[in-house]
Amino acid sequence: MIGFTILLTFIGIIIMAFASITQKKLADSIVLFMGVGLGSVVLFFIFNAPDVALTEAVIGAGISSLIFLMALKHLKAKA
Partner 1 sequence: MSLKRTLPTSVLSGFALSGAFILTVLQLLLQNVPKDIDRAGDALLSLNANEGVANAVTTVVVYFRGFDTLGEIAVLFIAALGIGLMLGENERCVIKAQSNFMLHTGAKLLFPIITLYGVYVMSYGHLSPGGGFQGGVIIASGVLLLLISHRDFEVPHSFIVWLETFAGVAYVLIGLIGLLTLDIFLGNFLPHDVSQMGLLLSGGIIPIIYIIVGIKVGSEMSAIVQSLIKRGDNV
Partner 2 sequence: MFEYLNQAEVIKYIVTIGSMSLFFVGLFGLLTQKHFIKIFISIATMETSLFLFFIGNMFNKNFTAPIISEGFTDIAKMNDPVPHAMILTAIVIGMAVLALGVSMSIEYYKLTGNTEIDKMNEMRH
Position 59 contacts partner 1 (CB under 8 A):
yes
Is residue 44 near partner 2 by the rule CB under 8 A?
yes
**What residues have CB less than 8 Å from 13, skipping those under 6 apart?**
35, 36, 39, 40, 43
Sole window of 1-9, 10-18, 31-39, 49-57 interacting with partner 1 (rule: CB under 8 A): 49-57
79 is an interface residue for partner 1 by CB under 8 A = no
Length of the chain as a residue count: 79
Residues 8-37, mask of contacts with partner 2 (x by CB under 8 A): --xx-xx--xx-xxx---x--xx--x--xx
DSSP annotation of 75 reads S
- Secondary structure letter of residue 78 according to DSSP: B
